[in-house]
Amino acid sequence: MADVKIGNLHKSYGTVEVLKDINLQVEDGAFVVLVGPSGCGKSTLLRSIAGLEPITSGAISIGGRNVSDLAPAQREIAMVFQSYALYPHMNVENNMAFGLKFAGVPKAEIADRVNEAARILQLEPLLKRRPRELSGGQRQRVAIGRAIVRHPKVFLFDEPLSNLDAALRINTRVEIARLHKLLKATIVYVTHDQVEAMTLADKIVVMNKGRVEQVGKPLELYYRPANLFVARFIGSPAMNTLAATLDGKGKAAAVAGVSLPLPAAVSGTGEITIGFRPEHCSIGKTGIPARVELVERLGETGYVHARTADGAALLVEVKGDPGLAQGAEVRVAPAAGHLHLFDGEGVRLAGT
Amino acid sequence: MRKPVSAFAVHAVLALYTALALFPIILVIMNSFKAKRAIFNTPLTPPMPWNFDPIGYSKVFGDSAIATYYMNSITVTVGTIFLTLLFGAMAAWALTEYKFRWNTALAIFLSIGIMVPIRLGSVSIIQLVSDLNLINTLTALILVYVAQNLPLAVFILSEFIQQIPRDLREAGRCDGLSEYNIFFYIILPLLRPAMATVAVFTMIPVWNDLWFPLLLAPTGGKQTITLGVQQFLGQYITDWNAVLAALSTAIIPVLVLYVIFSRQLIRGLTSGAVK
Amino acid sequence: METASQGRVQQHGIVGMSPGAYARVLIFFLAPAVLVYTLFSVYPLLDTIISSFYSKQNDGSYVYNGVANFVTLLTDPTWSAPFWNAFINNIKFFLIHMLVQNPIGLLLAALLSLPVLRFRTAYRTLIFMPTMLSVVIIGFTWQLILSPLWGIAKMFLQAFGLGFLFGPWLGEESTALITISLISVWQFVGIPMILIYTALLAIPDELIDAATVDGLNQFQAFFHVKLPLIWPTIGLVSVLTFVNNFNAFDLIYAMKGALAGPNFSADIMGTLFYRVFFGNQLQLGDVSMGATIATMMFLIILCGVMIYLFLIQRRLQRYAF
- pLDDT, tens digit, 9 for 90 and up, residues A234-289: 988 999 999 988 877 777 788 877 888 887 777 766 888 999 999 999 998 888 99
All chains having 3 or more CB pairs closer than 8 angstroms to chain B: A, C
Q: What is the mean pLDDT of residues A317-344?
A: 88
Probe site for chain C from A18, A23, A44, A56 (most C CB atoms < 10 A): A56
Is A309 exposed, middle or buried (CB count within 10 Å of its CB: 0-12, 13-18, 19+)? exposed
DSSP code string of C34-102: HHHHIIIIIHHHHHHHHHTTEEE-TTS-EEE-TTHHHHHHHHSHHHHHHHHHHHHHHHHHHHHIIIIIH
* pLDDT tier for residue B3 given thresholds of 50, 70 and 90: low
Q: What is the mean pLDDT of residues A185-198?
A: 92
A351 within some domain:
no
Q: Under an 8 A CB cutoff, do C44 and B244 touch?
A: no
Q: What is the mean pLDDT of residues A316-344?
A: 88
Is C317 exposed, middle or buried (CB count within 10 Å of its CB: 0-12, 13-18, 19+)? exposed
Which secondary-structure segment (H or E) carries B30? helix B7-32
What dotted CATH number matches B60-272? Answer: 1.10.3720.10
Q: Under an 8 A CB cutoff, do C28 and B113 touch?
A: no
Q: What is the mean pLDDT of residues A8-21?
A: 92
* pLDDT tier for residue B64 given thresholds of 50, 70 and 90: low
Tell me the CATH number of domain C69-315, given options 3.40.50.300, 1.10.3720.10, 3.90.950.10, 3.20.20.450: 1.10.3720.10
Q: Domain end: A200, A230, A260, which one? A: A230
Residue-level pLDDT at A251:
76
In a shared domain, residues A56 and A166:
yes
- Partnered with residue A240 across adjacent β-strands are A276
In a shared domain, residues A37 and A137:
yes
Q: How far is CA A304 from the centre of its chain?
A: 27
The dihedral of CA C106, C107, C108, C112: what is its sign? Answer: positive
* pLDDT tier for residue B231 given thresholds of 50, 70 and 90: confident
Q: What is the DSSP letter of A299?
A: S
All chains having 3 or more CB pairs closer than 8 angstroms to chain C: A, B
> Would you call the peptide bond into A106 cis, given omega within 30 degrees of 0 as the criterion?
no
Which residues of chain C make contact with A56, given a CB cutoff of 8 A? 8, 10
pLDDT digits (tens, 9 = 90+) for C303-321: 998 888 887 777 766 666 6
Which residues of chain B make contact with C321, given a CB cutoff of 8 A? none
Residue span(s) of chain C under CATH 1.10.3720.10 come to 69-315
Mean pLDDT of chain C: 87
* pLDDT tier for residue B270 given thresholds of 50, 70 and 90: low
The alpha carbons of chain A give a radius of gyration, in whole angstroms, of 24
Q: Containing domain of residue A36, as a range?
A: 4-230
Query: Strands A186-191 and A154-158, how do they pair?
Result: parallel
Tally A–C CB contacts below 8 A: 51
Q: What is the mean pLDDT of residues C72-91?
A: 93
Give the type of residue at B122.
S
Could you give the percent of chain A with pLDDT greater than 70? 99
Dist CA B170 CA B246 (whole Å): 55
Residues with Cβ within 8 Å of C34's Cβ and at least 6 positions away in sequence, in order, are B91, B106, B110
Probe site for chain C from B14, B84, B111, B184 (most C CB atoms < 10 A): B14
Which residues of chain C make contact with A52, given a CB cutoff of 8 A? 15
Which residues of chain C make contact with B28, given a CB cutoff of 8 A? 141, 144
The dihedral of CA C62, C68, C74, C76: what is its sign? Answer: negative
| Closest CB from C48, C129, C217 relative to B124 | C48
A124 within some domain:
yes
Residue ranges per domain, chain B?
60-272
pLDDT digits (tens, 9 = 90+) for B88-135: 999 999 999 998 888 999 999 998 888 888 988 988 999 999 999 999
Residues with Cβ within 8 Å of C320's Cβ and at least 6 positions away in sequence, in order, are none
Give me the residues of B, 76-135, that contact C with CB < 8 A. Answer: 83, 86-88, 90-91, 93-95, 98-100, 106, 109-110, 112-113, 115-125, 127-128
Q: Under an 8 A CB cutoff, do A50 and B181 touch?
A: no
Dist CA A7 CA C166 (whole Å): 90
Q: Under an 8 A CB cutoff, do C8 and A5 touch?
A: no
In a shared domain, residues A99 and A180:
yes
Tally B–C CB contacts below 8 A: 259
Query: With left for phi above 0 and alpha for psi between -120 and 50, is residue A155 left, alpha or beta?
Result: beta
Does A66 contact C at CB distance below 8 Å? yes
* pLDDT tier for residue B63 given thresholds of 50, 70 and 90: low
Which residues of chain A make contact with C3, given a CB cutoff of 8 A? 59
For the cut 60, the answer to whether the pLDDT of residue C124 exceeds it is yes
How far, in Å, are A12, A24, A190, A204 from residue A213 at the CA level?
A: 19, 12, 15, 10
Q: Under an 8 A CB cutoff, do C8 and A69 touch?
A: yes
In contact, B183 and B90? CB cutoff 8 Å: yes
The dihedral of CA C79, C84, C90, C92: what is its sign? Answer: negative
Residue-level pLDDT at C2:
40
* pLDDT tier for residue B1 given thresholds of 50, 70 and 90: very low
Q: Under an 8 A CB cutoff, do B121 and C137 touch?
A: no
In contact, A52 and C15? CB cutoff 8 Å: yes
Nearest to A159 by CA among A86, A82, A215, A99: A82
Specify the CATH number for the domain of residue A196: 3.40.50.300
In a shared domain, residues A55 and A177:
yes
| Closest CB from C6, C12, C16 relative to A51 | C16
Q: What is the DSSP letter of A237?
A: S
Q: Domain end: A210, A230, A250, which one? A: A230
In a shared domain, residues A83 and A134:
yes
For the cut 90, the answer to whether the pLDDT of residue C280 exceeds it is no
Residue-level pLDDT at B269:
67
Residue-level pLDDT at B149:
94
In a shared domain, residues A83 and A226:
yes
Q: Under an 8 A CB cutoff, do A5 and C1 touch?
A: yes
Residue-level pLDDT at A200:
94
Residue-level pLDDT at C88:
95
In a shared domain, residues A53 and A187:
yes
How far, in Å, are A77, A80, A179, C34 from residue A52 at the CA level?
A: 11, 13, 25, 29
Å between A222 CA and nearest CA of chain B: 34
pLDDT digits (tens, 9 = 90+) for B22-52: 999 999 999 999 988 888 888 888 888 888 8
Å between A15 CA and nearest CA of chain C: 14
Residue-level pLDDT at B253:
84
* pLDDT tier for residue C151 given thresholds of 50, 70 and 90: confident
Q: Mark out the alpha helices in B33-137 (DSSP H runs).
A: 36-41, 55-63, 66-97, 103-115, 122-131
Residue-level pLDDT at B184:
95
How far, in Å, are A25, B119, B127, C317 from residue A2 at the CA level?
A: 11, 63, 66, 57
Which residues of chain A make contact with B167, given a CB cutoff of 8 A? 81-85
Dist CA A43 CA A47 (whole Å): 6
Q: Under an 8 A CB cutoff, do B171 and A88 touch?
A: no
Residues with Cβ within 8 Å of A284's Cβ and at least 6 positions away in sequence, in order, are A331, A333
Q: Under an 8 A CB cutoff, do A102 and B176 touch?
A: yes
The dihedral of CA B102, B104, B107, B113: what is its sign? Answer: negative
How far, in Å, are A85, A134, A256, B188 from residue A93 at the CA level?
A: 15, 13, 64, 20
Residue-level pLDDT at C11:
59
Nearest CA in chain C to B256: C129
Question: Which of A190-204, B180-194, B229-243 has the lowest average pLDDT?
Answer: B229-243
Which residues of chain C make contact with B255, given a CB cutoff of 8 A? 129, 132
Q: How far is CA A101 from the centre of its chain?
A: 35
Nearest to C207 by CA among C119, C117, C108, C113: C113
At what angle are helices B138-163 and B66-97 packed, to 10 degrees?
A: 40
Q: Under an 8 A CB cutoff, do C16 and A69 touch?
A: yes
Q: Mark out the alpha helices in chain A (DSSP H runs).
A: 42-50, 92-102, 107-120, 136-148, 166-183, 194-200, 218-223, 228-233
Dist CA C17 CA C23 (whole Å): 10
Å between B187 CA and nearest CA of chain A: 10
* pLDDT tier for residue C14 given thresholds of 50, 70 and 90: confident
Q: Under an 8 A CB cutoff, do A81 and B190 touch?
A: no
Å between A1 CA and nearest CA of chain C: 18
SS3 label, residue A326 = coil
SS3 label, residue A10 = strand
Which residues of chain A make contact with B181, given a CB cutoff of 8 A? 102
Q: Under an 8 A CB cutoff, do A72 and B171 touch?
A: no
Does A68 contact C at CB distance below 8 Å? yes
Q: Domain end: A199, A230, A261, which one? A: A230
pLDDT digits (tens, 9 = 90+) for C39-59: 999 999 999 999 999 988 878
**Structural domain total, chain A:** 2
Residue-level pLDDT at C8:
53
Half-sphere exposure of residue C11: CA atoms within 13 angstroms, side-chain side: 10
Q: Under an 8 A CB cutoff, do C243 and B20 touch?
A: no
Q: Under an 8 A CB cutoff, do B175 and A88 touch?
A: no
Could you give the percent of chain B with pLDDT greater than 70? 95
Å between B210 CA and nearest CA of chain C: 6
A223 within some domain:
yes
Which residues of chain B make contact with A88, given a CB cutoff of 8 A? 190
Nearest CA in chain B to A99: B175
DSSP code string of A49-70: HHTSS--SEEEEEETTEE-TTS
For the cut 70, the answer to whether the pLDDT of residue B274 exceeds it is no
For the cut 70, the answer to whether the pLDDT of residue B2 exceeds it is no
Residue-level pLDDT at A214:
95
* Length of chain C as a residue count: 321
| Closest CB from C4, C13, C16 relative to A57 | C4
Dist CA A33 CA A203 (whole Å): 6
